Structure 1
Amino acid sequence: MLSSKALQCDYPITFVVGNTTLYLTEQPSVEARRALEQLIEKRRSSKLTRASAPLASGSTPLFAKVQPLDTFKAKVRVTLGKPQRNGRYDWPLEELKNTLEAQRRGIRMPPLQGFGYTRDRLGLAQEYFIITQLLDDHIDGVRWLQRNPDKVEAFILDAFELLSSLARKNITHMDFWIGNIMIPHASHEPLKAIDFENCFAGKTAHLSETLGFQLGFFYRRDIYKLITEADYDRLVYGYVEQLCGISRAKFDAVYFASKHEYVGRKQRREVFLSGTLITG
């Protein structure tokens, strides 16, 4: 069970606006309070959809991600902090749990600054907030490549190094694409990863298939627009040859399919858990 009460030692500041409760690492500044209040009020007056936004917040800039809960069962599970029958949590709690664990392991990422929920009339969580530090001295990979299309190969190799840094700490990011990579304005600093909703903390018995998916998915999500497939394959196999324990046959079977087929976020879990790729 993932209990909010158990986490409140590290997130001791309670911030309440109406039926929304947030648990924060520190007392928010005047600017942060105003930004959080505006976000919460905006959520009340709009349809419940996934949203993310930077918050003007003074000395500690924040970034908020809000996810609605679509079913009654999901609301009950998240309110109680209980997993589904398969042992995995609903997506908002998965992201909270994974972010906390990645942070504990020292992953290059923005620190988690807080979390919380809005309750409905029955007292059940109807949407969940994840609040991290805003990397205002970074730019995401999408925008960076728009400005630097001539440096795509260097970016890809740096992204592969980031992927390896995650793997060394047994964090497997199953939504690894250029929009989830942050590049520092100071070019000598390493890249950082964001958005740990769909990831695993622990080793997989299907390393070759999982890596094949990650690198195929990375190509399919936008990189294919900036580099030929042949050149991307050259970079991939140069990288894979440096790794130990990779079966080329198992890698290729998933890699080639993932480059060209849609793989839903639930199906990505199956690659990690069973080595099975389900597309479409």
Structure 2
Amino acid sequence: MLSSQPFQRDYPFTFCFLNTTLHLREKPSADACAALEQLIRQRHAHKQTRASAPLATGETPLFAKVQPLDTLKAKVRVTLGKPQRNGRFDWPLEELINTVEAQRRGVQMSDLEGFGYTRDRLGLVQEYFILTRLLDDYVDGVQWLRNNPNKIEPFIRDAFGLLHSLAQKNITHMDFWAGNIMISPQAPLKAIDFENCFATITPHPSETLGFQLGFFYRREVYKLITEAQYDALVEEYLDQLPGICAEKFNEVYQASKHEYVGRKQRREVFLKGNLITG
């Protein structure tokens, strides 16, 4: 069972409004309280939809991600802090656990400022909140590429550098694409959205990296570079990495460039080296 007590020690300020409880790293200002109350009111009208939005909260601007829980079983598991049969937690708890661990290891990322949940009339968690510091001087990689399409190769090299920095800290991001990379002219790239991540070493590093680099190409990047050019950049990157099996890497890499791989299937690549597409 997952206890939230260790997390709450680092997020000691509790904000309660209606049937929502949030645990925050800093005492919220009046502006922050007003913004959080407005967000919670909006959630009452849109409980079944995922939401991601910046909050105007004064000195510490926040970015809120809210995930509803779709099934009774998921609500019970998250309420009790229990994992699924496969040992993994439901997505909102996975994101919290991974974000806390990535932050602890010093990953280039947006700071976690708080987390919390809304309960239904039975006391079950029905949606989960992740609050991070808003990177208001950054843009995501998709927007940056729209404005700088001629800089695709430097972007890819920098993205590979960020991916390698995550790997060095044993953080494996299985949703690594341009939209989850934040860019500022004055600072290093940052990774966001740690929902589908692992904070352990994979027994299948070649297959996992093959998926990551293939997936990165398939989402957005393919629009701005030929496949042959991208393959050359991948080869350049792999030359710096010892211990990658070319055969195992290529089998997953080639498929991931062109086939949809669901988020549950990505876990299978990390855990078993198996790629199931479609």
Q: TM-score, normalised by structure 1?
A: 0.98
2:52 maps to what in 1? 52
The whole-number CA distance in structure 2 between the counterparts of 1:5 and 1:94 is 16
Does residue 38 of the first structure (1) align with residue 38 of the second (2)? Answer: yes
3-state SS in 1 of match to 2:136: coil
> In the alignment, is the contact (CA less than 8 A) between 1:139 and 1:185 conserved in 2?
no
Give the secondary structure class of the aligned counterpart of 1:137: coil
Q: Give the partner amino acid of 1:242.
A: Q
- Do the aligned residues in 2 keep the contact of 1:208 with 1:246 (CA within 8 Å)? yes
Structure 2 matches for 1:14-93, cutoff 5 A?
A: 14-93=14-93
Q: How far is the alpha carbon of 1:6 from its aligned partner?
A: 3.0
Per the alignment, residue 270 of structure 1 pairs with 268
User: Secondary structure of the equivalent of 1:22?
Assistant: strand
**Cα pair 2:107 2:169 within 8 Å, conserved:** yes
Match of 1:206 in 2: 204
The CA deviation at 1:241 is: 1.3
- The aligned counterpart of 2:194 is 196
Task: Please tell me the residue identity of whatever aligns with 2:273.
Answer: G
Partner of residue 236, structure 1: 234
Pairwise CA RMSD: 0.8
Q: Give the corresponding residue for 1:139.
A: 139
- State the distance in 2 between where 1:185 and 1:49 align: 33
Structure 2 CA distance for aligned equivalents of residues 19 and 190 of structure 1: 39
* SS of residue matched to 1:279: coil
**2:249 aligned partner, one-letter code:** F
Q: Which amino acid aligns with 2:13?
A: I
Which of the residues 241, 255, 258 maps onto 1:257? 255
Cα distance in 2, alignment partners of residues 37 and 201 from structure 1: 33
Partner-residue secondary structure (3-state), 2:241? coil
How far the C-alpha of 1:185 sits from its partner, in A, is 3.2
Partners in 2 of 1:87 and 1:258 — Cα distance? 26
Deviations 1:7-63 (A, max 9, x none): 211011010010000000011112111111111000101241111000001111100
Return the offset for 1:67.
0.3
Q: Decide whether the 8 Å contact of 2:47 with 2:68 is kept in 1.
A: no
Aligned length, in residue pairs: 278
Q: 1:177 is matched with which residue?
A: 177
Residue identity in the other structure for 1:40: I
Residue 220 of structure 1 is matched in structure 2 by 218
Aligned-residue identity in percent: 74
Gaps of 5+ in 1: none
**What secondary structure does 1:23 align onto?**
strand
Structure 2, unmatched stretches of 5+, are none
Q: Which residue of 1 aligns with 2:125?
A: 125
Alpha-carbon distance in 2 for matches of 1:201, 1:45: 35
Letter in structure 2 aligned against 1:235: L
Distance in 2, Cα, partners of 1:78 & 1:244: 40
Aligned counterparts of 1:249 and 1:86: Cα–Cα separation in 2? 29
Displacement after TM superposition at 1:137 (Å): 1.4
Q: Secondary structure at the match of 1:278?
A: coil
In structure 2, what is the Cα distance between the partners aligned to 1:269 and 1:184? 30
